[in-house]
Structure 1
């Protein structure tokens, strides 16, 4: 999986969508790698499909195992740089995603208060804060 942390004018681009059984959640854009696809290429593709934005650069941020005790899944998180809205979303039939932009400090507060519970979003935001990537 590739996950993308994108910040525009100090606000993180998040997706709002329903996730059974948890209801409506906020999370960063992400998607599954296609067979033979490199994580960075997946990040560029998924970011554009799910948000309508393009990034000129994707910088590796962190990778982690979300369920290390029973799964080999690895989530590769990237920071999208030099982003620009270029199109409408190109979603799959089953996807119903709204784009929400929330200030970085507010997202940190939402994580601390348990309002954002998605693991890839928490890992990416906290890793970014710790590394202070600009």
Structure 2
């Protein structure tokens, strides 16, 4: 046990929803005192950096209620119970954009907000895109505009805060780094 680790004394389940659950843990701190930790549990998610043969990024524009605004993002979605992240990535790419891919490569996984949530996002790069006949459709409560944009346009959208989420910003920075390394 690390000298910085917090020991859980008690867990109180507060809320169990469709996407997240909330619990409050009583913890013993490294100095022997106690404190409370509010923790959001999440099943994990995937995000897909889909690149067309024309070197454009496939994005979705959607309204995000938590932000009360439209933002542009890379396709993403929550892991279903027992589903492998690569399968989720293909499913979300198809549902949100109508595309499938010849090549799907895991890039990295990262925690979104480790101070209060355990959500992890697995980021994939999809290439060799093709439109899928009879593609799976969006969830009944999901509405998006699909767009294909250049890296330069994505950078512009970042500056304008039309792209405003960490997973998409991370993906764009990855592409910027790849472009710089290939020069």
Partners in 2 of 1:89 and 1:36 — Cα distance? 20
Offset at residue 89 of structure 1 (A)? 5.5
- The question of 1:119 aligning with 2:163 is answered no
Partners in 2 of 1:56 and 1:10 — Cα distance? 15
**1:60: which partner in 2?**
106
Per the normalisation by structure 1, the TM-score is 0.90
**4+ runs of 1 displaced by more than 3 Å?**
131-134
Partners in 2 of 1:131 and 1:39 — Cα distance? 24
**1:98: which partner in 2?**
145
Q: Which has the larger radius of gyration?
A: 2
Per the normalisation by structure 2, the TM-score is 0.67
Partners in 1 of 2:170 and 2:136 — Cα distance? 25
**2:32: which partner in 1?**
none
Partners in 2 of 1:95 and 1:109 — Cα distance? 26
Offset at residue 128 of structure 1 (A)? 3.0
Q: How does 1:36-75 map to 2 (within 5 A)?
A: 36-75=82-121
The RMSD of aligned alpha carbons is 1.8
- The question of 1:12 aligning with 2:70 is answered no
Do the aligned partners of 2:151 and 2:175 also contact (CA within 8 Å) in 1?
Answer: no
Offset at residue 11 of structure 1 (A)? 1.4
What SS does the corresponding residue of 1:90 show, helix, strand or coil? Answer: coil
Offset at residue 113 of structure 1 (A)? 4.0
Cα gap change, 1:119 to 1:25, in 2 (>3 Å): same
Gaps of 5+ in 2: 1-44
- 1:90-118 deviations in Å (ceiling 9; x for gaps): 01110111101111111023224433101
Partners in 2 of 1:89 and 1:16 — Cα distance? 18
What SS does the corresponding residue of 1:105 show, helix, strand or coil? Answer: helix
Gaps of 5+ in 1: none
Do the aligned partners of 1:14 and 1:101 also contact (CA within 8 Å) in 2?
Answer: yes
